[in-house]
Structure 1
Amino acid sequence: MALIWVALAAAVGVPIAAAALSPLLEWRGAVYILAGFAGIIALGLVLVQPLLIGGYLPGLSAYRGRRAHHWIGGALVAAVVIHVGGLWITSPPDMVDALLFSSPTPFSPWGVIAMWAIFAVALLAAFRRRWGLRAQTWRIAHMPLAIVIVAGSVVHGLLIEGTMETVSKAVLCALVLAATVKAMVDLRVWRKRGTLRG
């Protein structure tokens, strides 16, 4: 049971620690560094989300897992806002190019697409009850957006050549993909069997 939590902590913590030791940080300002680490943390939170909703983290009931999924989603939005806001402060022209999909860097559009998908999910979650979204409607909207978030985040992260160490970054991205696929397959099976948890 504890091994799963240790593995998760390592999967998220090792890339953060490796980035903290990067020599590239010597030439960066505090705001840029904060923005960069917010992006790394956001990628780690993307890993946590399918683990929570799939019920793979021991010690958490289905209800607590869903509640944690909700709050981690809020933390993910905050991390993305800090990431984008910090980069905007340090280099507004580059961020304008990225948001307009005119940036020459190949990683930019993937990050922007993932960002808007994250904001869309957050908006739907915030107004789900007010708009009267049924569970099936919520799933139909949320699942494709989740796929966009994961794919965009992973490609965005892999294409960036920055402070993140290559191997730990690749492992984290692979785990994000594997956890997402596993959760989506299991949720589909549970629904077909009529045994969806909670």
Structure 2
Amino acid sequence: MKGWRSARVPLIWAALALAIGVPIAFAAASEQLAWRGPVYILAGFAGIVALGLVLIQPLLIGGYLPGLSAYRGRRAHHWIGGALALAVVIHVAGLWITSPPDMIDALTFASPTPFSPFGVIAMWAIFAVALLALLRRRLGLRLRTWRIVHIPLAIVIVVCGVVHCLLIEGTMETISKAVLCAAVLAATVKVMADLWRKRTLRGERIPG
């Protein structure tokens, strides 16, 4: 039993690294990169990294990553949230530089591409969470109020981000992309179920 527990730690971290690293590696080997400029490539990979960070977030808040205390998990969740917002800024800014008209259409929900509105909604939800996290103390948001706001926005980020990714036919390889998206959804459902169970036992309710 002890042997399995000790082996479980590196296996969990290895699985996480593979879930994020394999799609990035396949995208880096895509033949489509030959026809793309450096700014577009940077924007595309920033989007892939952002999806990987979305996977890490529920794992941290749920305490599913071994070797991290509850305090370190919360601190990492905070900093990775900032990195996620930065990755989205790079993603959007790069696409804006390469094609301003397309980005204007996307931001105004006038784009004919089906994946655009989902990406824009996820983007604004990410920015909203990041801004509220920065202003939380100044606004005097209590933990319960923060959760009421944060949890629905997190669900929007996950659902819209996954749909956005799945609808794009780009440099990401299909199977590894699907696995990463499934992992994001599974981790989110798992942490939501655990939070719901804990709040139910305490007589509280989860918003949504």
Q: Report the CA distance between 1:187 and its aligned residue.
A: 1.4
Match of residue 80 from structure 2 = 72
Query: RMSD across aligned C-alpha pairs, in angstroms?
Result: 0.6
Residue of structure 2 equivalent to 1:131: 139
Q: What is aligned with 1:146?
A: 154
Corresponding residue of 1:54: 62
Distance 2:192 2:151 in 1: 8
Residue 36 of structure 2 is aligned to residue 32 of structure 1: no
CA–CA separation in structure 2 for the residues paired with 1:187 and 1:12:
25
- The secondary structure found in structure 2 opposite 1:124 is helix
Cα offset, 1:191, TM superposition: 2.5
Equivalent position amino acid for 1:110 in 2: F
Q: Distance between the aligned counterparts of 1:112 and 1:163, measured in 2?
A: 20
Instruction: Structure 2 unaligned segments of length 5 or more: list them.
Output: 1-8, 203-208
Residue from 18, 41, 47 that aligns with 2:49: 41
How far the C-alpha of 1:192 sits from its partner, in A, is 2.9
TM-score by length of structure 2 reads 0.92
* Deviation by residue 1:98-157 (Cα, 9 ceiling, x = unmatched): 000000000000000000000000011000000000111100000000000000100000
Partner of 2:117: 109
Residue segments in structure 1 that go unaligned for 5+ positions in a row = none
Which residue is 1:119 aligned to?
127
The code of the aligned residue for 2:126 comes to I
- Aligned partners of 2:198 and 2:62: how far apart in 1? 10
Percent identity of equivalent pairs: 79
1-side partners of 2:177 and 2:17: how far apart?
14
Equivalent residue for 2:18?
Answer: 10
| Structure 1 partner of 2:177 | 169
Secondary structure class of the residue paired with 2:138: coil
- State the SS of the aligned residue for 1:130: helix
TM-superposed CA distance for 1:189, in Å, is 1.5
CA–CA distance in structure 1, aligned partners of residues 38 and 146 of structure 2: 39
